[in-house]
């Protein structure tokens, strides 16, 4: 057990406390990082509510819901893994971690399907971006069809007023929605990939019986990270898919 205490720590407890606090502080920086993107999303959503609602309607709520469930399940597995490691069941912990990894991969797979769909519909921002309200068929908003955007009330509005029809203006703003959609979900997916690798390493160590009641810091700390990435999605899901 003492073999796990690095030279500069007095004891295992101090080391555990330091590692845990370190991860919490790292997560605080992550909150600020994602928080900036959430702030950008909120500002633009407030400026262009109709375009953001239209963009949101083209997302697949069913896929999003399944993914939310998948991630919550993965977090449960991680919690069980921490518990198993803390009660001297290192191998069981490895099993739970593999469960969490499988759930993570399923999430990424579903996300990939959604991204492919966006590519197919030219919903990816850039030169080929297209968004036609009429052709969006089943996703279109009920009720009012022709959106009139009050140009003068919106910063940058005058810029396009000359050349562009309201539909063209709307298309540009839906593109803004998708820019944020890809930035936020892409960054989240990157964190998921890192998490899967991290859990993979810890699972391997757990399988070799590295963890016990007296030393399970890596399980605890990588678990914290995983829960955080999960919680980011719990905010992204309603923000992008549900608030319409």
Partner 1 sequence: MTTELLAPPERNYLSAGYTARSWLLTVDHKRIAILYMVSITLFFFVGGAAAVLFRLELMTPEGDLVISETYNKLFTLHGIVMIFLFLIPAVPAVLGNFLVPLMIGARDLAFPRINLLSWYLFMLGGALVMWSTFVGGVDTGWTFYTPYSSTYANTNVMLAALGAFVTGFSSILTGLNFIVTVHTMRAPGLRWFRLPLFIWAHYATSLIMILGTPVVAAAIFLVALERGLGIGIFDPKLGGDPLLFQHLFWFYSHPAVYIMVLPSMGVVSEIIACFSRKRIFGYRFVAMSSMAIAVIGFFVWGHHMFVSGQSVYAGLVFSFLSMLVAIPSAIKVFNWTATMHKGHVWLSTPMLYALGFIGLFTMGGLTGLFLATVAVDVHVHDTYFVVAHFHYIMVGGSVMGYLGGLHFWWPKITGRMYPEWWGRFSAVLVFFGFNLTFFPQFVVGYLGMPRRYHTYPEEFQIYNVMSTAGASILGVAYLIPLIYFIWSLKYGPRATANPWDARGLEWEAASPPITQNFETTPIVTTDAYPYAEDEQRTEETLLV
* Options 21-29, 85-93, 96-104, 193-201: segment touching partner 1 (CB under 8 A): 21-29
Half-sphere CA count of 239, side-chain side, radius 13 A: 24
Residue 149 or 199 with smaller CB distance to partner 1: 149
* Token couple for 53: 């609602």
* Token couple for 174: 């839906």
Alpha carbon 191 to its chain centroid, in Å, reads: 8
State how far the alpha carbon of 210 is from the alpha carbons of 95, 132, 205, in Å.
14, 56, 6
231 binds partner 1 (CB under 8 A): no
7 binds partner 1 (CB under 8 A): yes
* Options 43-51, 60-68, 214-222, 236-244: segment touching partner 1 (CB under 8 A): 43-51
Q: In 3D, which of 126, 232, 128 has the Cα closest to residue 185?
A: 232
What's the min distance (Å) between Cβ of 88 and partner 1?
26
Please provide residue 224's backbone torsions phi and psi, each rounded to the nearest 5 degrees: -55, -45
Tokens 């593109």 -> residue: 175
* Options 20-28, 83-91, 103-111, 198-206: segment touching partner 1 (CB under 8 A): 20-28
Residue 29 or 152 with smaller CB distance to partner 1: 29
42 binds partner 1 (CB under 8 A): no
187 binds partner 1 (CB under 8 A): yes
* Options 75-83, 84-92, 100-108, 171-179: segment touching partner 1 (CB under 8 A): 171-179
Yes or no: say if 27 and 167 are a contact pair by the CB < 8 Å rule: no
What's the min distance (Å) between Cβ of 156 and partner 1?
4
DSSP 147-165: ----GGGSTTHHHHHTT--
Task: Give the residue, chosen from 3, 137, 156, 162, that forms a contact with partner 1 under the rule CB under 8 A.
Answer: 156
Q: How many beta carbons lie within 10 A of that of residue 96, not counting itself?
A: 25
What are the residues binding partner 1 (CB under 8 A)? 6-10, 14, 17-18, 21-22, 25-26, 28-30, 32-37, 39-40, 43-44, 47-48, 51, 125-127, 154-157, 159-160, 169, 172-173, 175-176, 178-180, 182-183, 187
């Amino acid at each position: 057990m003492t073999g796990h205490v690095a030279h500069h720590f007095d004891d295992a407890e101090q080391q555990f406390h330091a590692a845990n606090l370190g991860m919490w502080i790292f997560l605080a920086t992550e909150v600020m990082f994602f928080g900036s993107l959430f702030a950008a999303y909120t500002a633009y959503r407030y400026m262009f509510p109709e375009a953001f609602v239209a963009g949101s309607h083209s997302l697949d709520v069913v896929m999003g819901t399944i993914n939310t469930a998948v991630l919550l399940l993965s977090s449960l597995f991680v919690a069980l893994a921490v518990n198993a490691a803390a009660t001297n069941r290192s191998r069981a912990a490895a099993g739970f971690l593999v469960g969490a990894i499988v759930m993570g991969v399923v999430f990424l797979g579903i996300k990939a399907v959604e991204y492919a769909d966006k590519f197919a519909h030219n919903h990816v921002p850039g030169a080929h971006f297209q968004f036609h309200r009429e052709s969006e068929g089943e996703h279109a908003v009920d009720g009012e069809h022709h959106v009139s955007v009050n140009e003068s009330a919106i910063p940058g509005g005058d810029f396009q007023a000359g050349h562009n029809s309201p539909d063209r203006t709307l298309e540009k703003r839906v593109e803004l929605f998708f820019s944020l959609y890809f930035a936020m979900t892409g960054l989240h997916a990157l964190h998921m990939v890192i998490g899967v690798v991290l859990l993979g390493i810890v699972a391997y160590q757990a399988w070799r019986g590295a963890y016990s009641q007296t030393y399970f810091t890596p399980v605890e700390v990588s678990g914290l990270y995983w829960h955080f990435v999960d919680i980011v999605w719990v905010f992204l899901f309603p923000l992008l898919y549900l608030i319409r």
